Structure 1
Amino acid sequence: MANNTRSPLWRKQAVMLVLASALIAGCSGNTGNNNNSAPNTGTPTNSAAPSPGDSSASSEPISLTYWTGLNAFAARSLKEYGESLFYQELEKRTNVKVKFEHPAVGSEAEQFNLLIASGKLPDVIEYNFTTYPGGPEKAISDKVIIPLNDIVEQHAPNLKAYLDANPEMKKEISTDNGTIYAFPALGTGNSNVSSGLVLRKDWLDELGLGVPETIEEWTNVLTQFKEKKGAKTPLTMTLAEFKSERFNGAFGIGIGFYLDGGQVKYGPIEPGYKDYLTQLNAWYKDGLLDPDFATQDGAAKDAKATNGSAGAFPAFIGSAMGKYLTANKDSNPAYDLVAAQHPVLNKGEEPRFFTAAYDYRGENSAGITPANKNAERTAAWLDYLYSEEGNLLKSFGVEGTTYTLEGDYPKYTDLIVNNPDGLSIGDAMAKYLRVSTPSPGFVGDDRYTEQYYSFDQQKHAVKLFNQYYDNLKDTRLPRVTPTVDEGQELSSIMAEVNTYFEEMFMQFVMGAAPIAEFDGYTAQLKKMGIERAIEIYQSAYERYMKR
């Protein structure tokens, strides 16, 4: 497996390294490798520093106001996070009471802008500050959040130890001038790739076909599905799913901006993109690609994935694969699914482009605002989530209620995996824990994914999809930050570019525009300023590398 450098969550060597980092002032582990995704050294540990629940770390109770979106799954069971078992137990351990302020589900970005404009800030804002206009540096200069370097150094020993052991991650959560701006949601374990291409395994077995790896094999399998299984839409996708890295990687190009030997490129103007469009157009003309891809929604795609209309489709391991397998459990017992490796052009090649979460998730990271009168206690409270004990609470809850220990392995109870109120595993986790979506602390604990993915097909998929995760270090643009002026210029350019690109993508695939017009299309994108956009990202990338 290509990602075997990404160490297990609780490897003793990592634990000792981080413990030493916490104990020795100013000591840096320097064990991170030089790529865009930090290795999992320095994951949750029992720091030598006191936890916020100790009398030496916290005295009088305090109250904080905390603005964050309420996850849609949690919103099914909770009115606000304060009702969650996780936050109720966290309050008991830390003497910190939190009053949550939630924007309406789906209106988070709009409500965030209104919050900032109001000038009435809460103590903590949980958001993706990498998307703030002008970047996190501008959010600090706008006095929306405060710099955290000194606070992390003095009051967040667990996060400090992790960053000392993972210097590349410190680069990720800092501005170009080295300012730490948020308590991040950090990926751990081996599940950063949570979706990919899936096929009907029962059909493959019946037809004597292997799981396709190359584009040629994909063409053959889709053809067989159409001709021998009567699939009306052998490959079904929504238009939005073409914005993820799926088949394009086989042609050596990213779906948008990407890296090639340290140079920023934009996939849709590269020669390989013409080959990619040519293939999609051929599949469309031959009836292998769903003709409704441009207009259908997720529900229509789901129906085709389960009723025999389609034999291949992109799917999330948790929500989609589990749903499809469950839906056919009684009506079609033979129904089976298998994950396919991210496609390549030639046999033996390794995939280098595919959709994956960054180790630093970006979204749902916590910034402390200038309105906060208890910044040090807030930092200690947030830092608890980067300890082993805090991660156990966040990911597994309260022992005896949501999990039991089998040896040193936390096993979810029936309250989670066989909920008496009929909640799915995902909904139960969202109600009692904060584990299945990014939030301050760690996300993706392997012990969580092992239990969340209940079907063997899902367990296979998570291993397969993540096998080549480390290859992204050479192709994926890290979380760079354009300056305020660059950001404004970039927004202006890309608004026009994206509109034209999306229109032409559909025309090329559906044959309304012949592939012969590709050169004219790229020339038009250049007139719209795409080369200037590439220059902006190149400058931002070079600044990032100097952090």
Structure 2
Amino acid sequence: MGTHSKSRLAKKWPLLLLSAVMVMGMAGCSGNKEKADAPAETGDFNKEGLPIVNEPVTLKVLTVRWGSMGDTFTQNQWLKDLEKNTNVKIDWQVMSSNDWAEQKSILLASGTLPDVVVGDQTFSDSDIVNNLSYFRPLDEYIDQYMPNLKAAMEETPEMKKISTFPDGKIYSLPTRLPSRPKSSRQPVINKAWLDKLGLKTPDTLDDLYNVMKAFKDKDPNGNGKADEIPYIEVSNDFISPFGITDLNSNNMLVKDGKAVYYPTSEEYKEGLKWEDKLYSEGLLDKELFTQDATMISAKFQNPDAPIVGLSYQWTPDAVFGKWSEQYETIPPVAGPDGKRYTIGNPIGMNLARNELLITTSCKNPEVAARWADQFYTNEASIQNFWGAIGTVLKKNDDSTYTLMDPPAGTSADAWYWDQSLRDFGPKYVSPSFEKKIVLSPNSGDGLKLQLDKLGSDYVTTPFPNVMYTSEEFQELPTLTTDIDSYVTTMRAQFITKGGIDEGWDAYVKKLNDMGLEKLLKIRTDAYARYMNVK
């Protein structure tokens, strides 16, 4: 989804200044001091139209970028034009994610923040909920000064749901990214092996079992060795045919409108039995529970011959190196109930909160709100996701938009991060406008949208990205650390040693003894709050 490109640019991130200097430098709202505290009705502030202010005002805006990316995005032509057209000057404070954890603690301890915070990797839910006095409730500002965002929330109500905190107020602004798929990872199979063995693409679990058996026994890579590994990872993707579709990795599902903890469910139990059967017959990697990501990557890219039969990936070219062309994405396999399930989100993999906060240190919140609202138009959003029109995007005579080719020697993804806020910051692209964005079907975002058609009809509604209270945040880690760890340990044991039917009741009892009921109450309370947002 783009955020995998964490350490792109050759530009070396300079060492941050002494913490105290940084904190002082990021404090407060600058500009004309007499006017800073002046009420909006002085005539300097315009409630609508541009410029936002007649006399220039400077806002200090903090954002965090991956690794050594630096601040080249600030030269985005749309951002430069915005400054000119609004009279709102931006003093960008760009931090590196490498140093941010320590700097964040210092900043929150100081209590003096910049005016605006951009990007959801700057402050997490718990950072905000535990420091609410630093951030302004934005409901009235949205109502009075943010018509673009208000319209977006009416068209896509989930924008409001994910942004509403447990006290019913909105403290952070959401995003809806353009041209995102509905499905997450999809099944990817070695098509060359299928063809060589005269096998059809598997359609059911029985088909998949027979294909995996053939992959193991019939030397499809032709090197005379029994080195083929039909499947090498433990993942929820692999048991998704059983209806286990956990997008946010919190062991929760939504079934018939209810929040369900699936590691104690009958479907999960059946999924474990399936994995146990495959493991006992050597169809899953024998190093399933002992290998790390580096070892898995080495197997995907085994130098002499491809050795992995099946995987779940964003796109088929994601991990297989020189063997990529042998792999293709296939539709989801039907489960025991005859249905197909794909992990993802029916409204798209494109919603997030905490993309913009206005702090209580800001003396011109109405200016900041009107400035933020400029980001919520379709054209603003695509320019802050890929790059400016005329630089990265081309606006065609028929009102469609195409992406230009990146400079030689640069990948498209790296170029977009260099030229825009990309995944971070406020955006809204209307579903109807997405039809005007023309992407190449052969790579990147466009390829994923093509492949998405195979599984998008089967995407399930995930347990949403709910919000927790300060008290819930205190209790959650204590409960999830032990419970999640036990679920993981027992999954490994059940798959490698069996005994699922015999050991199931004791497994469930132990989870209950560890406080599962309390954990479920926290999750379901948060879910109820989320669903009740109007």
TM-score, normalization by structure 2:
0.78
**Would the aligned equivalents of 2:180 and 2:449 in 1 still touch at CA under 8 Å?**
no
SS of match in other structure, 2:60? strand
User: Is 1:180–2:166 an aligned residue pair?
Assistant: no
Match of 2:440 among 434, 446, 451: 451
User: Is 1:492–2:482 an aligned residue pair?
Assistant: no
How is 1:305-320 mapped onto 2 (pairs within 5 angstroms)?
305-307=300-302, 308-317=306-315
User: Which residue does the alignment assign to 1:145?
Assistant: 135
How is 1:12-27 mapped onto 2 (pairs within 5 angstroms)?
none
CA distance in 1, matches of 2:486, 2:438: 40
Deviation at 1:449, TM superposition (A): 8.0
User: Which residue does the alignment assign to 1:545?
Assistant: 531
User: Which residue does the alignment assign to 2:27?
Assistant: none
Unaligned segments of structure 1, at least 5 residues = 1-49
CA distance in 2, matches of 1:111, 1:467: 44
**Would the aligned equivalents of 2:180 and 2:349 in 1 still touch at CA under 8 Å?**
no
User: Which residue does the alignment assign to 2:404?
Assistant: 413
Match of 2:238 among 238, 247, 272: 247
Change (3 A) 1:479 1:70: same
Q: Deviations over 1:30-67 (max 9, x none)?
A: xxxxxxxxxxxxxxxxxxxx999964434333322222
User: Is 1:286–2:281 an aligned residue pair?
Assistant: yes
Change (3 A) 1:359 1:279: closer
Deviating more after overlay: 376-385 vs 185-194: 185-194
CA distance in 1, matches of 2:136, 2:312: 40
Change (3 A) 1:311 1:107: farther
Change (3 A) 1:131 1:344: farther
CA distance in 2, matches of 1:507, 1:343: 26
User: Is 1:96–2:83 an aligned residue pair?
Assistant: no
Change (3 A) 1:214 1:220: same
Deviation at 1:497, TM superposition (A): 0.7
Deviation at 1:526, TM superposition (A): 0.7
User: Is 1:369–2:343 an aligned residue pair?
Assistant: no
User: Is 1:196–2:186 an aligned residue pair?
Assistant: yes
For these two proteins, the number of residue pairs brought into alignment is: 470
Q: Deviations over 1:242-275 (max 9, x none)?
A: 2xx4133322345511222333221111122221
Match of 1:224 among 214, 227, 234: 214
CA distance in 1, matches of 2:355, 2:333: 33
Deviation at 1:213, TM superposition (A): 3.5
User: Which residue does the alignment assign to 1:480?
Assistant: 466
User: Is 1:71–2:66 an aligned residue pair?
Assistant: yes
User: Which residue does the alignment assign to 2:19?
Assistant: none
User: Is 1:208–2:198 an aligned residue pair?
Assistant: yes
User: Is 1:427–2:414 an aligned residue pair?
Assistant: yes
CA distance in 2, matches of 1:88, 1:181: 27
CA distance in 1, matches of 2:46, 2:177: 22
Deviation at 1:159, TM superposition (A): 0.5
Q: Deviations over 1:263-321 (max 9, x none)?
A: 3221111122221112112222222222233343434333323430102112123xxx3
Q: Deviations over 1:69-102 (max 9, x none)?
A: 2035xx35x3564355564454344443333334
CA distance in 2, matches of 1:428, 1:224: 43
Amino acid in the other structure paired with 1:408 = S
Deviation at 1:502, TM superposition (A): 1.9
User: Which residue does the alignment assign to 2:16?
Assistant: none
**Would the aligned equivalents of 2:73 and 2:419 in 1 still touch at CA under 8 Å?**
no
Change (3 A) 1:130 1:403: closer
User: Is 1:116–2:111 an aligned residue pair?
Assistant: no
Change (3 A) 1:168 1:160: same
SS of match in other structure, 1:372? coil
How is 1:257-272 mapped onto 2 (pairs within 5 angstroms)?
257-272=252-267
Change (3 A) 1:424 1:350: same
Amino acid in the other structure paired with 2:418 = K
Deviation at 1:201, TM superposition (A): 1.8
Match of 1:235 among 231, 235, 247: 231
User: Is 1:461–2:454 an aligned residue pair?
Assistant: no
Query: Please, what is the CA RMSD of the aligned residues?
Result: 3.3
Deviation at 1:151, TM superposition (A): 0.7
Deviation at 1:530, TM superposition (A): 0.7
Change (3 A) 1:116 1:59: same
Deviation at 1:138, TM superposition (A): 5.0
CA distance in 2, matches of 1:174, 1:370: 18
Match of 1:344 among 334, 340, 351: 334
CA distance in 2, matches of 1:468, 1:194: 12
Match of 2:514 among 517, 528, 534: 528
Deviation at 1:371, TM superposition (A): 0.8
Deviating more after overlay: 507-516 vs 447-456: 447-456
Q: Deviations over 1:417-453 (max 9, x none)?
A: xx22x11111111111233x24311379566683385
TM-score, normalization by structure 1:
0.76
User: Which residue does the alignment assign to 1:273?
Assistant: 268
CA distance in 2, matches of 1:357, 1:224: 38
CA distance in 1, matches of 2:438, 2:182: 11
Deviating more after overlay: 150-159 vs 439-448: 439-448
Unaligned segments of structure 2, at least 5 residues = 1-44, 221-225
